[in-house]
């Protein structure tokens, strides 16, 4: 669980870059609170995928890290749009059909992946690869240290 949360924090800066870009292009009358939804999606989707695909099954590899990074970027787009379209209006007291929000989020995430995917998908792959490599090296060093401690006792 600790690894997946840390991976979510490593993916969060990509979402924060998008928030900065959107804030610079927004007027003051635009959608409020959207930055919370984007930050939540860019943290939670990759962390959840890391937990499901790597941490729970205890099958760590660089290839799996890359796959989790790319899938995390794709799901972050979808959930960011879903949170904006479903939870955002609910904060203002409007009731939105969840099925409409799911369909609209799919459309919005498809368009945003076509526009920003050339940036987000490789960034997700790079973050996943380097984090998987970091976790692998850390575990290897920890095992070597434990083996050295056992040999000192013997």
* Of 44, 106, 117, nearest in space to 78 by CA: 106
pLDDT interval class at 68 (50, 70, 90): very high
Phi, psi of 28 (to 5 degrees): -70, -20
- The whole-number average pLDDT for the span 76-104 is 85
Phi, psi of 66 (to 5 degrees): -65, -45
Q: How far apart are CA 107 and CA 154, in angstroms?
A: 63
pLDDT value, residue 22 = 65
pLDDT value, residue 47 = 93
pLDDT value, residue 89 = 78
Length, in residues, of the chain: 154
How many of the other CB atoms lie within 10 Å of CB of 123? 18
Residue 108 neighbours by CB under 8 Å, 6+ apart: 81, 85
Asked whether the predicted pLDDT for residue 66 surpasses 90, the reply is: yes
Q: Is 94 helix (H, G, I), strand (E, B) or coil?
A: coil
pLDDT value, residue 52 = 93
pLDDT value, residue 9 = 86
* Of 22, 26, 16, 30, nearest in space to 123 by CA: 16
pLDDT interval class at 84 (50, 70, 90): confident
- The whole-number average pLDDT for the span 98-124 is 88
Is the torsion defined by CA of 30, 35, 37, 42 positive or negative? positive
pLDDT value, residue 10 = 85
pLDDT value, residue 29 = 52
- The whole-number average pLDDT for the span 39-43 is 89
Which position has the higher pLDDT, 148 or 100?
Answer: 100
Asked whether the predicted pLDDT for residue 20 surpasses 90, the reply is: no
pLDDT value, residue 32 = 59
Residue with token string 């076509």? 114
Distances (CA, A) of 115 to 73, 83, 105, 110: 13, 20, 15, 9
pLDDT value, residue 143 = 63
Answer whether 7's CB lies under 8 Å from 46's CB: yes
């Amino acid at each position: 669980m600790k690894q997946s949360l840390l991976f979510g924090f490593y993916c969060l800066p990509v979402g924060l870059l998008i928030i900065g870009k959107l804030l610079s292009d927004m007027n003051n009358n635009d959608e409020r609170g959207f930055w919370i939804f984007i930050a939540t999606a860019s943290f939670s989707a990759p962390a959840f995928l890391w937990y499901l695909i790597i941490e729970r099954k205890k099958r760590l590899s660089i290839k799996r890290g890359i796959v989790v990074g790319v899938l995390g970027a794709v799901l972050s787009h979808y959930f960011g749009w879903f949170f904006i379209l479903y939870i955002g209006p609910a904060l203002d007291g409007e009731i939105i059909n969840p099925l409409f929000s799911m369909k609209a989020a799919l459309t919005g995430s498809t368009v945003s992946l076509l526009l920003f995917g050339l940036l987000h998908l490789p960034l997700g792959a790079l973050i996943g690869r380097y984090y998987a490599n970091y976790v692998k090296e850390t575990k290897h060093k920890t095992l070597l240290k434990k083996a050295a401690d056992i040999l000192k006792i013997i």
